[in-house]
């Protein structure tokens, strides 16, 4: 049986660090409030002139280098993002050009914070079907540009960054064991960006009403996020005849430490089974999982035959999980 296996990981975080103390000077908030409610201590912010495609390209280069794969060998590039350089064409096409991945086709995938796991699922299906042998899967975001920096309810939560993995066809028992993806459009207005599409074209009025910026009902999102992350994590384990004790490392979407802790408790995972880096980077939406995976990988935390569980939840709502034998 052909499976998709991750043979390289890479990430890129912009240099500029914005601490909670910096945000204290911008809106009515405090480091203590942010740390207590979210676990976030700082986040990275893209430099002027630095775009999602630039960060994604750097992450991809690092993943390709680790895999020992050249850009020309890649058959497919899928980028999970909601903050591409342009509404279209796809930022994945810019990454393709930057890398010189001339034999690939490339597209963006919009599933908010679930963008990377959705992209991984598509690329895995592509490889399993035999249509191609090597794919590049990315999650990259420049959320700092769609955040309302006058809104304390949201501006403390998010950050910028990019992560990438190289997927290759394998015939062994390792690789992606399963993907479970879900969505429910009835929650649209709990988390969205109202004024950046054709429904509200950019104008002085939409800007006045702050429509181009991310809007969120944090409290409601929190509850559904914990419920969905829990159910989709259990779904992955059950489908593979496993329980929480089989998981070597749980790498969830890094939204908020309280969401992660509540989910881990419900799935019956212990603290040392859960990878958390939200304190350093905040919520980088589609980028959180590949960035965390790359950090864990480079720290030697992902070993042969380890069972790695990825779960994500985001705007849409969308949610999904992937189970991997490393």
H-state helical runs in the chain: 20-24, 31-38, 52-67, 91-99, 115-128, 152-155, 204-208, 218-239, 257-267, 278-281, 288-298
Q: What gap in Å lies between CA 90 and CA 105, rounded to an integer?
A: 11
Shorter beta-carbon distance to ligand ACO: residue 23 or 67? 23
Cβ-proximal residue to ligand ACO, closest one: 218
Per-residue binding string, ligand ACO, 21-60, x by CB under 6 A, is: --------x---xx--xx----------------------
Shorter beta-carbon distance to ligand ACO: residue 29 or 110? 29
Shorter beta-carbon distance to ligand ACO: residue 39 or 132? 39
Shorter beta-carbon distance to ligand ACO: residue 127 or 234? 234
Per-residue binding string, ligand ACO, 294-313, x by CB under 6 A, is: -------------------x
282 near ligand ACO, judged by CB under 6 A: no
Per-residue binding string, ligand ACO, 100-129, x by CB under 6 A, is: -------------x----------------
> 163 Cβ partners below 8 Å, 6+ apart?
9, 10, 11, 12, 59, 116, 138, 139, 140, 287, 288, 289, 290, 291, 292, 293, 294
Closest approach, Cβ 231 to ligand ACO, in A, equals: 14
Q: What gap in Å lies between CA 47 and CA 76, rounded to an integer?
A: 29
Buried b (16+ CB within 10 A) or exposed e, 193-223: bbbbeeeeeeeeebeeeebbbbbbeeeebbe
| Tokens 């403390």 found at | 156
Q: What is the Cα Rg of the chain in Å? A: 19
Shorter beta-carbon distance to ligand ACO: residue 57 or 284? 284
Judged by CB under 6 A, which stretch of 53-61, 123-131, 195-203, 248-256 contacts ligand ACO? 248-256
**Binding to ligand ACO, residues 133-192 (CB under 6 A):** 152-153, 156-157, 191
Closest approach, Cβ 42 to ligand ACO, in A, equals: 14
Closest approach, Cβ 128 to ligand ACO, in A, equals: 28
Sheet holding 105-109, edge to edge: 3-12, 160-170, 134-142, 76-80, 105-109
Q: Which residues are catalytic?
A: 113, 253, 283
């Amino acid at each position: 049986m052909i499976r998709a296996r991750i043979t390289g990981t890479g990430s890129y975080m912009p240099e500029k660090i914005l601490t909670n103390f910096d945000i204290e000077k911008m809106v009515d908030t405090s480091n203590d409030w942010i740390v207590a409610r979210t676990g976030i201590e700082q986040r990275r912010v893209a430099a002027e002139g630095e775009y999602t495609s630039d960060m994604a390209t750097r992450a991809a280069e690092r993943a390709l280098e680790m895999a020992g794969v050249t850009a020309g060998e890649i058959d497919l590039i899928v980028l999970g993002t909601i903050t591409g350089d342009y509404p279209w064409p796809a930022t994945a096409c810019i990454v393709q050009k930057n890398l010189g991945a001339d034999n690939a086709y490339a597209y963006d995938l919009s599933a908010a914070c679930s963008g990377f796991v959705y992209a991984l699922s598509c690329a895995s299906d592509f490889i399993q079907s035999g249509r191609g042998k090597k794919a590049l899967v990315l999650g990259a975001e420049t959320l700092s540009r769609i955040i309302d920096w006058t809104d304390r309810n949201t501006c403390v939560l998010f950050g910028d960054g990019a992560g990438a993995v190289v997927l290759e066809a394998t015939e062994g028992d390792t690789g992606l064991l399963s993907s479970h993806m879900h969505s429910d459009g009835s929650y649209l207005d709990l988390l969205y960006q109202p004024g950046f599409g054709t429904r509200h074209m950019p104008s002085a009025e939409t800007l006045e009403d702050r429509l181009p910026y991310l809007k969120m009902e944090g409290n409601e999102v929190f509850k559904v996020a914990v419920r969905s992350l829990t159910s989709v994590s259990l779904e992955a384990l059950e489908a593979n005849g496993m329980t929480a004790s089989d998981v070597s490392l749980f790498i969830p979407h890094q939204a908020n430490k309280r969401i992660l802790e509540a989910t881990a408790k419900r799935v019956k995972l212990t603290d040392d089974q859960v990878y958390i880096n939200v304190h350093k980077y905040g919520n980088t939406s589609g980028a959180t999982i590949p960035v965390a995976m790359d950090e864990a990988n480079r720290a030697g935390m992902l070993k042969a035959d380890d069972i790695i569980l990825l779960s994500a939840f985001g705007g849409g709502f969308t949610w999904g999980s992937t189970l991997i034998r490393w």
